[in-house]
């Protein structure tokens, strides 16, 4: 699979500030100090990047902190927000809770940001960054779905690749020891057509098969699945639905 690197995203990106004002820019969008200038197109680093205060961010071995290592603890979560559009304070509330719980990566479903002309859009909320792929419109022109990743400053500093696979799947790679791959996804609902569900799971399987075997792989998402007592212990539901069988 061809991932989109930080430098190759330039022609097809747009930044949205915390005030909701889009600004076209000529560089891959990022908060100062989050994606360092010394990240090359292949994701390698020459020197340790500065943090927003201008001081070198170093780990115990003299390099910048990795997202994942034997010394670092990270939290990865998933959250179906229903919407992040209204009221606008929802974005700030999301970041506030991410900070309180010390979550570095949140897989977001149903953000409902509609930007069909841009592959990925960047939203700056304080020192966090929300990266979204566009939602879609239903038969009555209402915004539906949309997946994204909310990243802490540490996660942004280690982000090497990110790509929109489909309207329901985003994949991101992070530097670390080992390197990490996060696949954020949002499954069709249980009553969707067989074609929609098969397309989603076939696409997800294809993405997983192309992740290097040594990467630490996480797949946070909303799979719209229910598990019954025949498939798991202490379940809330009385039977497994079709999505549960796929999952």
| Average pLDDT over the chain, rounded to an integer | 81
Query: What is the C-alpha separation between 10 and 180, in angstroms, rounded?
Result: 23
Query: CA 36 → CA 31, 143, 215, distances in Å?
Result: 10, 34, 23
Structure tokens at 24: 């076209």
Q: Which residue has the higher pLDDT, 52 or 148?
A: 148
The CATH code of domain 7-31+66-246 reads: 3.60.10.10
The whole-model pTM stands at 0.74
Which of 36-50, 53-67, 194-208 is least confident?
36-50
pLDDT digits 0-9 by tens, 52-91: 443 344 555 556 678 888 777 899 999 999 999 999 899 9
Portion of the chain with pLDDT greater than 90, in percent: 60
CA torsion 202-10-80-176 (nearest 10°) is 80
Residue 245's pLDDT band (boundaries 50, 70, 90)? confident
Whether 148 contacts 111, CB under 8 Å = yes
**Chain segment 23-41, per-residue pLDDT in tens:** 443 334 443 344 444 343 3
On the question of pLDDT at 169 being above 60, the answer is yes
The average pLDDT across 114-137 equals 97
Confidence tier at 49 by pLDDT (50, 70, 90):
very low
Confidence of residue 206 (pLDDT cuts 50, 70, 90): very high
pLDDT digits (tens, 9 = 90+) for 10-23: 334 444 434 444 44
């Amino acid at each position: 699979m061809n991932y989109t690197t930080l430098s190759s995203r330039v022609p097809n990106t747009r930044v949205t500030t915390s005030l909701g004002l889009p600004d076209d820019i000529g560089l891959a969008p990022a908060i100062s100090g989050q994606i360092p200038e010394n990240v090359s197109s292949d994701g390698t680093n020459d020197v340790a990047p500065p943090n927003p205060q201008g001081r070198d961010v170093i780990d115990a071995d003299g390099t910048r902190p990795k997202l994942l290592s034997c010394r670092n603890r990270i939290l990865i979560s998933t959250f179906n927000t229903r919407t992040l559009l209204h009221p606008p304070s929802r974005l700030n509330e999301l970041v506030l809770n991410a900070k309180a719980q010390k979550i570095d990566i949140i897989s977001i479903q149903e953000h409902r940001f509609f930007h069909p002309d841009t592959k990925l859009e960047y939203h700056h909320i304080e020192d966090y960054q929300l990266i979204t792929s566009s939602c879609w419109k239903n038969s009555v022109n209402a915004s539906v779905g949309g997946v994204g990743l909310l990243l802490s400053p540490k996660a942004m500093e280690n982000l090497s690749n990110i790509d929109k696979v489909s309207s329901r799947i985003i994949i991101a790679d992070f530097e670390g020891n080992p390197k990490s791959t996060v696949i954020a996804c949002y499954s069709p609902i249980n009553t969707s057509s067989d074609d929609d569900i098969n397309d989603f799971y076939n696409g997800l399987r294809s993405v997983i098969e192309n992740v290097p075997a040594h990467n630490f792989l996480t797949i946070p998402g909303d799979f719209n699945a229910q598990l019954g007592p025949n498939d798991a212990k202490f379940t809330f539901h009385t039977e497994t639905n079709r999505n549960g069988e796929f999952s």
